[in-house]
Structure 1
Amino acid sequence: MENEIKSHYSYTEVINWLQAKGVELYGNHFKIVETDYPIVYKLIAYSLRDEPTCFQYGINLNKGILLSGPIGCGKTSLMNLMKYLTPTEYKFSVKPCRDISFEFIQDGYQIIHKYSIGKLYQSEPRTYCFDDLGTENNLKYFGNECNVMAEILLSRYDLFISKKLKTHITTNLSATEIETHYGNRVRSRLREMVNLIAYDKSTLDKR
């Protein structure tokens, strides 16, 4: 695979560096396994903004990333590692969807504003990676049920169109399950907003 990549970056060296960084962050059991290299290469190409390689993989640098795969395959740790490769102006924060849903219970609708429009007192919208989409539940705030993540994603879509704001997502849901949970509007907006990078369904749980 590596020798097929026509790039001025050495992807083998980058993977070695990420492996070392992973051990530093997560402990000695952390390992980037070879069967995951096709996924990792795509994430590296995107994070380094390596245009020729992204073109080879059909990855659009103007969109975000939707990394989908079974539970325990290492999506979150990989996205956390990619933050270290990403140039400053493309840095992002990883935010678990469950945490957002708990914030919503506490603070209500301003949470949707916070994760879509940006900080309440800061006009610059932020790039987020919403981690584990689908683990949060529909929540009630003063008796009103709200699909918090659907609202946030729809708002961010408007900002994607108007300000090129990127959104990254990790999920173990399939496209069909995303539609079931969040509706077909969200699914069709996501098609425009993100590059889908998917693990094989048979990928083993690494936990």
Structure 2
Amino acid sequence: METEIKSEYNYDQVIVWLEKKGVELYGTHFKILETDYPIIYKLISYFLKDEQTCFQFNINLNKGIMLSGPVGCGKTSLMNIMKHLTPIEHKFSVKPCRDISFEFIQDGYEIIHKYSKGKLYVSEPKTICFDDLGTENNLKYFGNECNVMAEILLSRYDLFSSKKLLTHITTNLSASEIETHYGNRVRSRLREMVNLIAYDKTAKDKR
């Protein structure tokens, strides 16, 4: 599937560079498949802040990215590689939602603050990619059940509105499943907060 890109960047060279980075991080079996190029082009244009190409793809640079697709299609590894493509001022960290839910069991409600308003270290980027949204469960802390990620996303929405704080997400949930898990407030806030980049439902498991 060819996409004609008019840009100052050579996207095919960028893909070669990304593949090298992927091999460094994940081993020699790592490969970027040509069938994934339409997705990769969008991610490259966003993370390089290539305004002209983002405009072609209808991507808003003031929003984050939600990368959705079936299990095993490579969402997490792609976001981990994109971290290396991003200019310093737009660096982000990747945080599995399951880890956040375990932290919540241990430390309670301050975890919601940590991933919305707070930072662990001054050097830590405020932009976070919440990885695998939907794999964490509703958890109890001293008997109180809390939908941790819903609370974090709603808090980050307030900061997105007031301070332009960006949030990235990977998930294999559909929009309606997000609404079921997190409620329609979260779904409608996400619509404002992120650009949706979606793999085809038939994308094959690369694991």
TM norm structure 1: 0.97
Q: Which residue of 2 aligns with 1:190?
A: 190
Q: Which residue of 2 aligns with 1:85?
A: 85
AA aligned to 1:82 is: M
Q: Which residue of 2 aligns with 1:31?
A: 31
Cα deviation, residue 119, structure 1: 1.9
1:141 and 1:2, CA in 2 relative to 1: closer, same or farther beyond 3 A? same
Distance 2:131 2:206 in 1: 17
Alpha-carbon contact 1:116-1:125 (below 8 Å) kept:
no
Distance 1:116 1:94 in 2: 14
Q: Which residue of 2 aligns with 1:94?
A: 94
Question: Among the aligned pairs, what percent are the same residue?
Answer: 83
Q: How many residues align?
A: 206
1:120 and 1:91, CA in 2 relative to 1: closer, same or farther beyond 3 A? closer
Distance 1:146 1:160 in 2: 22
Distance 2:85 2:55 in 1: 19
TM norm structure 2: 0.97
Alpha-carbon contact 2:91-2:125 (below 8 Å) kept:
no
Cα deviation, residue 2, structure 1: 5.9
User: Within the alignment, does 1:171 sit opposite 2:171 as a pair?
Assistant: yes
AA aligned to 2:76 is: T
User: What's the C-alpha RMSD, in Å, of the aligned pairs?
Assistant: 1.4
Distance 2:33 2:121 in 1: 43
1:147 and 1:37, CA in 2 relative to 1: closer, same or farther beyond 3 A? same
Structure 1 residue matching 2:169: 3-state secondary structure? strand
Cα deviation, residue 51, structure 1: 0.2
Q: Which residue of 2 aligns with 1:104?
A: 104
Alpha-carbon contact 1:2-1:12 (below 8 Å) kept:
no
1:23 and 1:110, CA in 2 relative to 1: closer, same or farther beyond 3 A? same
Cα deviation, residue 125, structure 1: 7.4
1:112-160 per-residue CA deviation (whole Å, 9 max, x = no partner) reads 00000022686x9711000000000000000000000000000000000
Cα deviation, residue 3, structure 1: 6.2
1:121 and 1:82, CA in 2 relative to 1: closer, same or farther beyond 3 A? closer
Cα deviation, residue 57, structure 1: 0.1
Distance 1:185 1:67 in 2: 20
Structure 1 residue matching 2:94: 3-state secondary structure? strand
Describe how 1:151-166 pairs up with structure 2 within 5 A.
Answer: 151-166=151-166
